[in-house]
Amino acid sequence: MRHAAIQHIEAKFLRQDVTTFNTGDSVRVHWKVKEGEKERVQAFEGIVIRKTKGNHRATFTVRKLSFGVGVERVFPLHSPRYEKIEVLSRGAVNRKRLFYLRALKGKAARVDTIEEPKPAKKAAAAS
C-alpha cells in the first residue's frame, strides 16, 4: 500500500519528453542557470559516461575536457531544470560505465561513433 502510494506521487513528476540516449553518446544538455534574479540557459557538452536507473531518481553523468581538465557533471534525468538534451553523435561502446575514459588523454579518449543512416531524399516531382 505504502509503496504504491509513493509510486503514484512520483509518477506525477516524471518528464514525458525525455530524449533517448545511451552511454558513449555525445550530448549537449541545455541547463537553466539562475544568476541573481535572471535565469539563462547554459549548454554543457560532452560524452555520457554513466546512466543510472530509477524512475524519478534516474541520473546521467556527462564528461568533457575544459582547457585540459576533465569536468564531470551529474544531471537528474527527470529534472525540470534542463530545457532539452541534444544527441550529437551515437557512441559504439560495449559497456554501461565508461570510467576508463578518466585515465585517457588526447586521441585515446575518443569514442567510436555509429554512423546513422540518413533518410533518403525524395526526387522532386517533375511538373
Q: What tens digit of pLDDT does each residue of 6-24 get?
A: 888 888 888 888 888 999 9
Cell readout for 99 is 570510467
- Going from N- to C-terminal start, the domains of the chain cover 18-103
Cell readout for 12 is 506525477
CATH of domain 18-103: 2.30.30.790
Condensed to tens digits (0 to 9), the pLDDT of residues 30-78 reads: 999 999 999 999 999 999 999 998 878 889 999 998 998 899 999 999 8
Q: What is the DSSP letter of 109?
A: G
What are the C-alpha distances in Å from 3 to residues 10, 15, 32, 57? Answer: 11, 20, 32, 15
DSSP string across 60-107 = EEEEEEETTEEEEEEEETT-TTEEEEEEEEEE--S-SB-GGGGG--GG
